Amino acid sequence: MTLGVILIAIFGLMAAYLINDAKSNLGAGQALRHQELTIIVLTLAGLAFSALAAYGLLYLFFLRPINSLTKIAGAGTDGNHENEFSPDSDEIGALGKNLADMNNTLRADITKLQELDKQKDEFIKIVSHNLRTPLTIIQSNISFLDNAHLDKNLVKMVKGIEDSARRLSLFSEQMLTITDFESKQGGQLVRQESTLNEILGSLSREYTELATSKGMIFKPQIESGDTKFFTSQYLVAQAVRNILDNAFKFTSEGGMVILSAQLSDKVTIRVSDTGAGISEVELPKLFTKFHRASGTLVYNYEGTGIGLYVTRLIVEQQGGRVYAQSQLGRGSVFTIELPLIKSVTSEVIQ
């Protein structure tokens, strides 16, 4: 409607100018000229009103419905499917009705998907929690058998059971972590006072034993191990464990894995190995969910592709970052960097 107002203003100014010009010539007795100017003014005024009427009809029957459709489509793109459309003409009204029906269908589908996703999360939680009890019993009995006097064949079998139980337990914890984080229930981060020795000590002992059994070399190098800082001890240990598991998985007998950690203006934890390495093509995909390097199919390595994804979720939740450097056939270096927090005002950090 703005265009119509502008047209009226333009034609009004033109008419005023012509009328003033006619009045100035009346003294010379040009009555005919006055009539001609009057006809011109009326004609221009008629044109102005015709243009305004045409624009009004165009806006009413075309521009306004199309604008409404555009708004609905834009809202749907942004995820808002609550808009309704009232048709003003048959053709555009039919288009609007189809768009509204599509919006309603999409809204219903999204609701169903959200409910299915919620059920999936609940199922994962139930399965993971129910795995914990039998796994705890299995691991406890294995610890008892470790102290028993068994022949070499039985020791080998027990070690196999122990390794399988440990991997299953880790997988269960990883799935719980993913479910909590993706359902926003991992939004509250509890930090407690810890040290690098407390976080990495048990991991160092566990993987030292694993390295011995696999004929590998494992070197823990922890600096400032007794310096206190605030972090989520359990989650950080889980993040490092995921990286160590990968390092041991892809490093063959006789290879070396180094776990180093230090404090400066930040917490830096690094895992280096002399294993198979990672190609440049695979590096950007490492920390995505369910990603497994294509080469693992050739070497038949076990894994679910969620360990490094869980590590990224944990590290980023604490305001840190994790990244990898690698050369194919020459090993890899994974680095976790976390903010060094010396004190907290509240135990729970949002």
Residue 89 lies in a domain: no
Interatomic CA distance for residues 14 and 179, integer angstroms: 72
Q: What is the pLDDT of residue 190?
A: 76
Amino acid at site 192: Q
SS3 14: helix
Q: What is the pLDDT of residue 260?
A: 96
Residue 102 lies in a domain: no
Whether residue 316 is found in the same domain as residue 197: yes
User: At residue 95, does pLDDT exceed 70?
Assistant: no
Q: What is the pLDDT of residue 347?
A: 46
Whether residue 78 is found in the same domain as residue 215: no
- Which of 61, 83, 105 is a domain's end point? 83
Whether residue 198 is found in the same domain as residue 342: yes
Residue 124 lies in a domain: no
Interatomic CA distance for residues 231 and 324, integer angstroms: 22
Interatomic CA distance for residues 278 and 250, integer angstroms: 10
Inter-residue contact 161 to 143 (CB < 8 Å): no
- % of the chain with per-residue pLDDT over 90: 25
Residue 114 lies in a domain: no
Interatomic CA distance for residues 264 and 344, integer angstroms: 18
Residue 38 lies in a domain: yes
Residue 279 lies in a domain: yes
Whether residue 63 is found in the same domain as residue 210: no
Whether residue 69 is found in the same domain as residue 199: no
Q: What is the pLDDT of residue 145?
A: 75
Number of domains in the chain: 2
User: At residue 221, does pLDDT exceed 50?
Assistant: yes
- Which of 60, 83, 106 is a domain's end point? 83
Residue 131 lies in a domain: no
User: At residue 131, does pLDDT exceed 90?
Assistant: no
Give the confidence band of 259 by pLDDT, cuts at 50, 70, 90.
Answer: very high
Inter-residue contact 267 to 337 (CB < 8 Å): yes
Helix/strand/coil (H/E/C) assignment for every residue in 192-226: EEECHHHHHHHHHHHHHHHHHHHCCEEEEEECCCC
User: At residue 135, does pLDDT exceed 60?
Assistant: yes
- % of the chain with per-residue pLDDT over 70: 63
User: At residue 217, does pLDDT exceed 80?
Assistant: yes
Lowest mean pLDDT among 88-102, 121-135, 187-201: 88-102
Nearest Cα neighbor of 250 from 289, 202, 282 is 282
Interatomic CA distance for residues 27 and 85, integer angstroms: 62
Please state the φ and ψ torsions of residue 181, each to the nearest 5 degrees.
Answer: -70, -45
Which of 105-114, 206-215, 340-349 has maximum average pLDDT? 206-215
Residue 155 lies in a domain: no
Secondary structure (DSSP) of 15-70 = HHHHHHHHHHHHTTT-HHHHHHHHHHHHHHHHHHHHHHHHHHHHIIIIIHHHHHHH
Whether residue 197 is found in the same domain as residue 330: yes
Residues in a beta bridge with 256: 217
Give the confidence band of 240 by pLDDT, cuts at 50, 70, 90.
Answer: very high
- Which of 83, 117, 148 is a domain's end point? 83
Query: Distances in Å between the alpha carbon of 94 and those of 73, 86, 123?
Result: 15, 10, 43
Domain that holds residue 316: 193-349
Q: What is the pLDDT of residue 219?
A: 95
CATH code at position 253: 3.30.565.10
Q: What is the pLDDT of residue 323?
A: 95
User: Which has more pLDDT, 40 or 202?
Assistant: 202
